[in-house]
Structures are given as structure tokens and as C-alpha cells.
Amino acid sequence: MTTRVFSRTVMAAFAALAEMTAACGTSSPAGPTGMPAATDVSQAPAPVVAAIQPDTGSTGGSTPVKIIGSGFQPGATVSVDGIQMGAFVLDSGTIHASTPPHGAGKAEVVVTNPDGASGRIANAYTYVPPRMFDFNGDWIGVAGDEHQRELRFTVRDNVLVSVSCGTSGTVTFSPPPQVHSGEFSILRSDGVGISARIVSASDAVGTINIEPCPSAYWMATRSTKQG
């Protein structure tokens, strides 16, 4: 899944959440006594965690992942080796989440429904030091609170060659920042700058301050077409 597709999916999911919240304001069907009819969740199946995509990411966390399985209920929580992570249940078979920081090695992923039932998959996710990932290539992503600006940057020989955001045009820095341990950062005296941290073999996150992307967060994926 590309960054832009992931972004649209997450935004659509939150729109669905807003609709469900609004719907909760309506009255429930009444039972024979005039009281709201109770919902029996005692027979609800326990969640099953089948896979997590991608299954490898940086020890620094913040990798966007998709958890695939079944029996996920709205409000389900997700944890990695007991560390709870930000998550949103898109439907009964899909959860979007962002990994927490964790030491290098394999970790267990657990999904717990509001009724207390849980499902887990051992050694499902592997944390890798960011220096093990390659930052070189052409990156395409989105920036801004509503992911409304397209962001692009290029890294060659572990050096940031160029960056653009929205209608900014190509921006270069002198001297260009070098990538160290999966990260780079530069800030000019006029406030123009960018920071980046690789979070998986194909994903990176960071901040940018280049008009028309002032002090914006971004996320990007590496293009499969290398220049």
C-alpha cells in the first residue's frame, strides 16, 4: 500500500467513525418493557490475528501497519509485547495502526476486543535498527494535517539531493544533509528545513517547513521506480 493510499484509507476510516458516533445519538429499539433492547455479545467470536503488513519496521516505531484477521470489534485495542499502540478498527477484518518504539527483535501482536476476548500472533513483527534500512531512492508522500500536499525528495549516496512540497518547486540545501542511522535533518537560518526518519524498508516520516508546507508533518514511501 502506498503512502497516499494508506492516507486516504485512514481518513475514510475516521470519517466512518464520525458517522457511527453521530448514529449513536439515535434511540435504540425498545424491548417489550419499553427499555432499550440489550445486545448479547456473549457469543461474539474471539478476534483472530492472521498477519501484520509490513511485518518489519524500525526500533524507533511510527511504522504504519495493517493488521489482518477476523472478529475485530469497534474499540478494539492493539499491543506489541504489552505496549499499546495507536489503532483504528476499519472493519471486522482490518485494523490500521502505528507501531510503538521497541528493542530489536521479534514481538508478539495482540488484539483485545472491548468484551475482553483477545487474539494474538507470536513473533509476528520484527524490529530492526534503522541503520539496517537503505534510505537511497526517490520518495513520494503527503504532508499537512489533512495530507493535502504532495511531498517528494531524493536521496543518493546517503545524501539528500532535493525536496519539494506542494507548489514549492525543487529545493536544495548547501551543504546537503547526510543520512546517519536512518535519519537526516537540516534547518537553514531562514527556517526552511526538513527532518526524516526511516521506519521500514519502504516508509519514512518526518517534518518539513517549506512553503506551502509550513511546519508540517509528512509520511512517504520509496518509489519502485528509481531514477
114, part of any domain: yes
User: Tens of pLDDT along 97-109?
Assistant: 999 999 999 999 9
Let me know whether 153 and 112 are in one domain.
no
* Average predicted confidence (pLDDT) for the chain: 84
Number of domains into which the chain is organized? 2
190, part of any domain: yes
Let me know whether 113 and 186 are in one domain.
no
Q: SS3 of 180, please?
A: strand
Cis peptide before 45 (omega within 30 of 0): no
In order of 25, 82, 151, 155, 171, the CA distances from 194 in angstroms are 43, 33, 11, 13, 11
The CATH code of the domain that includes 212 is: 2.40.128
62, part of any domain: yes
Let me know whether 155 and 204 are in one domain.
yes
Whether residue 224 is predicted with pLDDT greater than 50 in this model: the reply is yes
Average pLDDT in the 47-74 region? 94
Let me know whether 114 and 137 are in one domain.
no
Whether residue 1 is predicted with pLDDT greater than 50 in this model: the reply is no
Domain encompassing residue 113: 3-20+47-128
Let me know whether 13 and 115 are in one domain.
yes
User: Tens of pLDDT along 166-191?
Assistant: 999 999 999 999 999 899 999 999 99
User: Tens of pLDDT along 16-56?
Assistant: 443 343 444 433 334 444 444 444 545 678 999 999 999 99
